Structure 1
Amino acid sequence: MQDTDNRVDPALVAGNRKKLAGYAARHFGWSVQGKVATITLNRPERKNPLTFDSYAELRDLFGQLRHATDVHAVVVTGAGGNFCSGGDVHEIIGPLVQLEAPELLMFTRMTGDLVKTMRACPQPIVAAIDGVCAGAGAIVAMASDLRLGTTRSKTAFLFNRVGLAGCDMGACALLPRIIGQGRASELLYTGRSMTGEEGERWGFFNRLCEPDAVLAEAQKLATDIASGPTFANGITKTMLHQEWAMTIDQAIEAEAQAQAICMMTEDFTRAYKAFVARQKPVFEGN
């Protein structure tokens, strides 16, 4: 990436490229190993609930990841045997019942913006899910690109159980595309927990792992992805997202344009040269 940086104006680099390995997270854990970042929701005594502050910081961090040069994949997990219990009852739900409509809309737009930034960042996101995965936690899992679970995973979109609609943070758009309309309707109308076995069978989980191995497996998967052609992976993520709203003809044309762009990358040339030399390509993300 340094060679690429040297070919463009420093002002453009400064505005659009940054390193995030040294990012100091305030409201959750953050670490970078190689090209993979791990976000750990770490309030295990409460099963890792989200707060106003953690919502906002997650939203902003995923926004910054669009410009990161040193992070090529992201893992999201929770501490202490649970993923996330949703919005903190005392720090979020309690204050919300005191707010007027403009402030409530400010909050719901902020939570929705978290999903938007997760979908917009080019890095594939792998969720490592054990134990409780409820409410906003289930949404964060849903908004990830890949999900590894365990047999003790319990995923619940429990909004109707607190008097709210199931249409929260994009759930009515995203969840049916992952598990199907009927299954999504059941979870959103009843608020019941989806077991790990159901989640794997329905396609919510890519696979199930042992609880003490799920994080390591997620990090290995993220590392494998990060070792690939990361610019092209970002294009794949973009097209997977955008093509939901396209006709087949529009999607074919969009993919033709996207693939032509990828054919101009140095990684494409590296792959060809490696094939000719009967070697495994080493991608550099440019």
Structure 2
Amino acid sequence: MNPETFAPEHFRWDFDEGVATVTLNRPERKNPLTFDSYGELRDTFRALVYRPEVKAVILTGEGGNFCSGGDVHEIIGPLTEMDMPGLLVFTRMTGDLVKAIRDCPQPVITAADGVCVGAGAILAMASDLRVATPETKTAFLFNRVGLAGCDMGACAILPRIIGQGRASELLFLGRTMSAEEGEAWGFWNRVVPQGELMTTANDLAARIAAGPNFANAMTKNQLNAEWDMGLHQAIEAEAQAQAICMQTEDFRRAYRAFVKKEKPVFEGN
């Protein structure tokens, strides 16, 4: 996958100055996911592991909504006709998308407006940073369609963002979380007017892209890895990670810039 020429079939891809923007673009249906778009998104985020020229990713939706989750006609209906092995293939595939978002070294920023529900809420949850508008309505509505709230890693990730009690409320009730609640609870990093949504997301992405990208990837790796570590193991893992980063040219560039009282210009190596 060459980020300069990549032309996905099921979403829009833009790439400029190290920042890739993935836009879900079925606005007439509030940007639902299909079997094919799940797979293409998963494969795209997996491929980013090998594309260091991509330094940050913005995930957004077209037409005033982020994502309405799995398409009722193209996913939900067919699922009711599948046998258990087929269903497990599907649920593992959707989980693989979350793994791919978490495993790619680039920080991922969700920029959400309007509807952000079901698998759409999961995409936001799986991202590293999240920006919304006051009109954003978020719901993990699996319970409302007769399914468990434990979908695509929700029971593992959501409590770590907003706490066990609040996550339990959203997952048991399937109720909508307002943008105001989401910001107060720490789900949204920023809530900004609609006209400022992409400006804010692009500003965050540009600041990340201008940073020490090797070190940023190390930070994301440690944020993932340390979920399963005890304190002593985590401190040792961070000592090793930081020692590796201290061998980079970016570390030396920062030192030289500090001595000269200049702003460092990082190159990601």
The two structures have a TM-score, normalised by structure 2, of 0.99
Matched letter for residue 256 of structure 1:
A
Could you tell me which residue of structure 2 aligns to residue 169 of structure 1? Answer: 152
Answer yes or no: is 1:180 the counterpart of 2:163.
yes
Is this contact kept in 2: 1:267–1:285, CA < 8 A?
A: yes
Measure the CA separation in 1 of the matches of 2:2 and 2:106. Answer: 14
Structure 1: any 5+ residue segments left out of the alignment? Answer: 1-17
Cα deviation, residue 215, structure 1: 1.4
Q: Is contact 1:21–1:71 with CA below 8 Å preserved after alignment?
A: no
Provide the rounded CA distance (Å) in 2 between the counterparts of 1:21 and 1:62. 15
State the Cα deviation string for residues 155-174 of structure 1 (Å, max 9, x = none): 00000100000000000000
Alignment-derived partner of residue 249 in structure 1: 232
What secondary structure is seen at the aligned counterpart in 2 of 1:213? Answer: helix
Please state how far the C-alpha of 1:19 moved relative to its aligned partner. Answer: 3.8
Structure 2 residue 186 is matched with structure 1 residue 203: yes
Equivalence for 2:142: 159
Structure 2 residue 215 is the aligned partner of structure 1 residue 235? no
Matches within 5 A, 1:1-286: 19-286=2-269
TM-score, reference length from structure 1? 0.93
CA deviation map 1:197-233 (0-9, x unaligned):
0000000000111112111210110110110000000
Q: Residues 85-114 of structure 1, C-alpha deviation per residue, up to 9 Å, x if partnerless?
A: 000000000000110000100000000000
Task: Spell out structure 1 runs of 4+ moving beyond 3 A.
Answer: none
Distance 1:265 1:75, change over 3 A: same
Segments of 5+ residues of structure 2 without an aligned counterpart are none
Q: Quick one: distance in 1 between partners of 2:58 and 2:11?
A: 13
CA distance in 1, matches of 2:80, 2:2: 40
Structure 1 residue 69 displacement after superposition: 2.5
Q: Is the 1:127–1:147 Cα contact (8 Å) retained in structure 2? A: yes
Provide the rounded CA distance (Å) in 1 between the counterparts of 2:144 and 2:238. Answer: 41
SS of 1:155's partner is strand
Report what 1:8 is aligned to: none
- Letter paired with 2:194: P
Contact 1:267/1:283, CA 8 A, preserved across alignment: yes
Offset at 1:70? 1.7
Deviation string for 1:248-282 (max 9, x for gaps)? 10100000000000001110010011111111000
